Amino acid sequence: MELKLYDTLTREKRPFTPIDPNNVRMYVCGPTVYDYAHIGNARPVIVFDVLFRLLRHIYGEQHVTYVRNITDVDDKINARAAERGIPIRQLTEETYNNFKVDVAALGCLPPSYEPRATEYISNASASTDMIQLIEKLIANGNAYAEQGHVLFSVGTMPDYGKLSKRSLDEMIAGARVEVAPYKRDAMDFVLWKPSPPELPGWDSPWGRGRPGWHIECSAMSAALLGETFDIHGGGIDLVFPHHENEIAQSRCAFHNGAMANYWLHNGFLQVEGEKMAKSAGNFVTINELLRDWPGDVLRLAMLGSHYRQPINWTLKSLNEAEKALAGWFEAAADQADPRPAPAVVEALLDDLNTPKAIAEMHALRNRAGHKSLAGTMAFFGLRGGEFEEWQQRRAPSLQISEADIAERIAQRLEARKAKNFAESDRIRDELAALGVVLKDSKEGTTWEIAR
């Protein structure tokens, strides 16, 4: 079965055909490093990690290149550094390191490259940097310099809006368009802007300044993956204006018909049915969740919904993921087959159908004699060691010895035989108060620690 992916640009699910099977290339927009990443930021990280693993399974690890950038020059970064009273570089280093720790805890592989935007503003060793790219756009008649700014002229791109399927009028009405005297048209967007002395700035043909957000990804993807590559991914919120503007910049600079051949976008995330927002009191970071849950539980809960659909992040979904993992790891404890089950791979080949893949993993657990669950879980990015350590850390300690528990269970059995149900209930309740839960069945009475 071949890999099929839903392409946002063409609005259809179609077979994936790489430009070069020996060099499959994927770019995904990464975080702006000014604060801890929230759980919504985790979704593209996890989704495209699954795709990265799948591509490596199909084409071989050495034949897949995955780039996920770090935006470390941005107005939000400048504002947060000023708010905290620390140097900008200190903020970006601290936040970037926090992000790396968090996503590693989610079971995500490191990308092949994780370029920082500040490394590609002016970089003589790069095939394309941001200043070079802006110069190309000016030379091609697609950009203009005005009052220390450089702007992309949207009117020079005839099919601008093709990705988001919006007309120019719709985009003007739906966007927060900045009205500025240096703009020739309301929809023109900034490629370069001046920097005052107190903010980061780089020398350029247009004066000391810093890049706009959109030009960063066009420059870094071209430098590391080429002028046209296979897959570009990110959240659905990036379709317009970010990815629309990336396409305009890259196609006009390089005179290419496509920046990427497939555009993949994951859906929005809600928390307990509501949009996540600090004002709503439901804003939660990956780091905060990892204090209470292992990364594997967060990962499985995130993959329980198809990546293109909205996801409702709930406590129930986390509890269900924990229960599923406990059963899977127990069933796979003595398995050694490193290969993933074909049925799970087949589900992922169908546009990363993770809900179906998870259903197949449940079936594997319940199928007697099947030995591929351990390899399948590893392929899915799930790690038994971390989960077991977390279970041990959170397990409540016994307040009574196992010998005493056995003795009281025997006393309770005698009370029940004598039809002294009041005494039987008293012993049961006494054990419950000590954190021991009794379970009666035809085979006898067992116990477990209350959680």
Q: Got the DSSP string for 77-127?
A: HHHHHHHHTS-HHHHHHHHHHHHHHHHHHTTPPPPSB--BGGGGSS-TTSS
CB 381 within 8 A of CB 53: yes
Q: What is the pLDDT of residue 177?
A: 59
Locate tokens 């990690």: which residue?
Answer: 49
The SS3 assignment for 437 reads: strand
Give the phi and the psi of residue 338 in degrees, each rounded to 5.
-80, -5
Q: What is the pLDDT of residue 399?
A: 73
Q: What is the pLDDT of residue 242?
A: 96
CB 28 within 8 A of CB 233: yes
Beta bridge partner(s), residue 202: 209
Strands 24-28 vs 64-68: parallel, antiparallel or unpaired: parallel
**Which bin fits 417, alpha (ψ -120 to 50), beta or left (φ > 0)?**
alpha
Q: What is the pLDDT of residue 335?
A: 80
The rounded distance, in Å, linking the Cα atoms of 258 and 247 is: 7
The H-assigned helical ranges of 201-336 are: 213-225, 244-254, 286-290, 295-303, 315-331
| pLDDT string in tens for the chain (451-residue length) | 799 999 999 999 999 999 999 999 999 999 999 999 999 999 999 999 999 999 999 999 999 999 999 999 999 999 999 999 999 999 999 999 999 999 999 999 999 999 999 999 999 889 899 999 999 999 999 999 999 999 999 999 989 999 998 766 666 654 555 678 899 998 999 999 999 999 999 999 999 999 999 999 999 999 999 999 999 999 999 999 999 999 999 999 999 999 999 999 999 999 999 988 887 788 899 999 999 899 999 999 999 999 999 999 999 999 999 999 988 988 888 787 889 999 999 999 999 999 999 999 999 988 866 789 999 999 999 987 766 776 666 655 667 888 888 899 999 989 889 999 888 889 998 888 887 888 888 888 888 877 6
The rounded distance, in Å, linking the Cα atoms of 444 and 446 is: 7
Beta bridge partner(s), residue 73: none
Beta bridge partner(s), residue 91: none
CB 158 within 8 A of CB 190: no
Q: What is the pTM for the complete model shown? A: 0.86
